[in-house]
Amino acid sequence: MFDYKLLAALGAVVEQGGFDRAAQVLGLSQSAVSQRIKLLETRVGQPVLIRANPPEPTEMGRRLLNHVQQVRLLESDLGDLIPDLDECSSTQRLRVALNADSLATWWAPAIGAFSAQQPLLLDLLVEDQDVGLRRMRAGEVAACLCAVERPVAGARSLALGSMRYRALASADFLERHFPNGVSLRALTGVPAIVFGPDDRLQHRYLAALGIEGGFVHHLCPSSEGFVRLIEAGIGWGLVPELQVLESLASGALCEVVADTPVDVPLYWHHWRNGGELLNRLTEHLVRTVPTWLVKAERNLARRG
Amino acid sequence: MFDYKLLAALGAVVEQGGFDRAAQVLGLSQSAVSQRIKLLETRVGQPVLIRANPPEPTEMGRRLLNHVQQVRLLESDLGDLIPDLDECSSTQRLRVALNADSLATWWAPAIGAFSAQQPLLLDLLVEDQDVGLRRMRAGEVAACLCAVERPVAGARSLALGSMRYRALASADFLERHFPNGVSLRALTGVPAIVFGPDDRLQHRYLAALGIEGGFVHHLCPSSEGFVRLIEAGIGWGLVPELQVLESLASGALCEVVADTPVDVPLYWHHWRNGGELLNRLTEHLVRTVPTWLVKAERNLARRG
């Protein structure tokens, strides 16, 4: 068997983002943690950590972390039967990658009831839709939410429904830039807001309206900040309908082009052998999440 | 003089997160962009980019980017006088690092009026308070908001005021875990929420209450997600008062321990020679931001 004390040290250094904090969590001295990592590296014959700030796992380190996390999940199943086996009976941790917009809208209410009944600590990683899947493949997370259906080896994916986005701007912004109504041709010249280099939603929206080429934009990698910038009249952008129901109803935010939604599908990817807790969470999500999402995909459909 | 065509290619590849998108923005072929980067590397005698996905600047690449951004800011001042000098008269971009909580609360309303009057595109980077300063030092941003007063070389810092945080939980969460009132001793055993490994606010709060050692916690690196998790009764944590005024007034969220605010100071760091636009933005922020913040620092003060 592996020496799990060494693997636990690796897990703590990566999860806590440093040797000193890992030492605190493990109740060891910092030099003891260092020694365990060095011993682990001697055993596997290569580095497991890149000594940066914060330390990052090497490819080998990632594989070992993946393994530790799977073992922990399996242990937690056993722990239900034999609670005293666990040396330090901590609540089960689950690492999940999800997109900022899900976290800003339906994730917390969906998970709330589950969390009240199950001892569970969540390590959430906010990632663009497709990066989560890379983390899944690298074994850094036990589950992820993403727009791609195809699962990685060892995992399953389940369709939850689609997030409906609308291209929105403040009434004031539209009045300032388009006093005579929105001109599609001029839209590329007024500032959009883009989440980050991987966010192609605004590009796809413009392309679907027949507008090709670049457009001026701010960059704002925060779901809440994105909506705040739009509300403050700084730009237009695609926002989950769920996040702005009140502002839409009050007319504070308006669609840039009437009735042109973009639906983005969401799939829940999870390890097949991720243990009982992950299975229960999966069942819970599949049962409850569709109420917040839309079923059919409708993209830039126009009325009439 | 440097060959700014080469430096502009470097800037575009980093800002756009890839060679193909950089090519689109520059109106060049992808191979032309590649050639410019290679020529730049031949001239400086070392790599300027790490060919990852997305490409990242090397230490030398960062210095060159810093230089390009400063030159662009200076050009924009001149551009006001001689508008035709600019080859492709794009709106001025400004890269700013700020903490997620400012972006989720006062940043957009504070910047809104400024943005309506000035042609300005913002590249926002969301960073923990102290990482922003490192980016400032590395020349990756023209300005940053952080909790530290001392400026890096070549920059100035200005005090804006403090964000007031309160340790909050949902009424339901408190009732479930503490039916007989909150016990400080038991607080470490009920899940807190922590933004990420660099977030020590919950640690400092507990320490100030005389509670040392670890505590169980979820990790949620999203300002909006953080509040949503608390609202859904998944944990307790320190939230900017500004972000939850309504939930506090309605009683949906309650202080874990009555009247124990934690004030975190905010300083605006900006390049001294960052050009006229950055100066005007700085004046605007110094004039308007204090209305959203508190003046005096009050930490865990109790009434009476």
**Structure confidence by residue, pLDDT tens digits, A168-200:** 999 999 999 999 999 988 999 999 999 987 788
Contact in structure between A58 and A47 (CB atoms under 8 Å): yes
**β partners of residue B271:** B155
Q: Which residue has the higher pLDDT, B271 or A239?
A: A239
Of A25, A124, A220, the CB nearest to B220: A124
pTM: 0.74
Average pLDDT over residues A114-132: 85
Nearest-Cα residue of chain B relative to residue A22: B197
- Which residue of chain A is at minimal alpha-carbon distance from B233? A112
- Say yes or no for a CB contact (<8 Å) between A111 and B232: yes
Amino acid found at B126:
V
Q: Please report which residue ranges of B195-244 form alpha helices under DSSP H.
A: 201-208, 223-231
Show residues of chain B in contact with A168, CB under 8 Å: none
Question: What is the structure's pLDDT at B303?
Answer: 39
The pLDDT assigned to B179 comes to 94
Task: Kindly report, residue by residue over A124-167, the tens digit of the pLDDT.
Answer: 999 876 788 888 887 778 899 988 899 998 899 999 999 999 99
Q: At how many degrees (to 10) do helices B4-16 and B59-81 cross?
A: 110
The pLDDT profile of chain B, 304 residues, written as one tens digit per residue, is: 677 788 889 988 988 888 988 888 787 888 889 989 988 888 888 889 998 888 888 888 888 887 777 677 666 655 455 444 444 445 678 889 999 999 999 999 999 989 988 888 898 999 876 788 888 887 778 899 988 899 998 899 999 999 999 999 999 999 999 999 999 889 999 999 999 877 889 999 999 999 887 888 999 999 999 999 999 999 999 999 999 999 999 999 999 999 999 999 999 999 887 788 899 999 999 999 999 999 866 777 543 3
pLDDT at A300 over 90: no
Q: Which of the two residues, A197 and A58, has the higher pLDDT score?
A: A58
Cα distance between residue B206 and residue A23, in whole Å: 19
Residue of B96, B92, B62 whose CA lies nearest to B75: B92
Tell me what the mean pLDDT of segment A204-221 comes to. 89
Q: For position B7, what pLDDT does the model report?
A: 85
Q: What is the DSSP letter of B151?
A: P
pLDDT digits (tens, 9 = 90+) for A255-290: 999 999 999 999 999 988 778 889 999 999 999 999
Residue A83: the pLDDT is 42
> What's the pLDDT at B86?
44
Instruction: Kindly give the pairing relationship between strand A120-126 and strand A92-98.
Output: parallel
ipTM of the complex, rounded to two decimals? 0.73
Domains of chain B (ranges; CATH) run: 1-84 (1.10.10.10), 149-304 (3.40.190.290)
Q: Closest approach of chain A CAs to the CA of B18, in angstroms?
A: 8
End-to-end CA distance of chain B, in Å? 66
B50, containing H or E segment: strand B49-50
What pLDDT, on the 0 to 100 scale, is given for residue A76? 61
Output the CA angle B121-B122-B127, nearest 5 degrees. Answer: 170
| Confidence at residue A1, expressed as pLDDT on a 0 to 100 scale | 65
Q: Do A108 and B21 touch (CB under 8 A)?
A: no
3-state DSSP assignment of residue B129:
coil
Q: What is the mean pLDDT of residues A43-68?
A: 84
Pairwise CB contact (< 8 Å): B218 & A122: yes
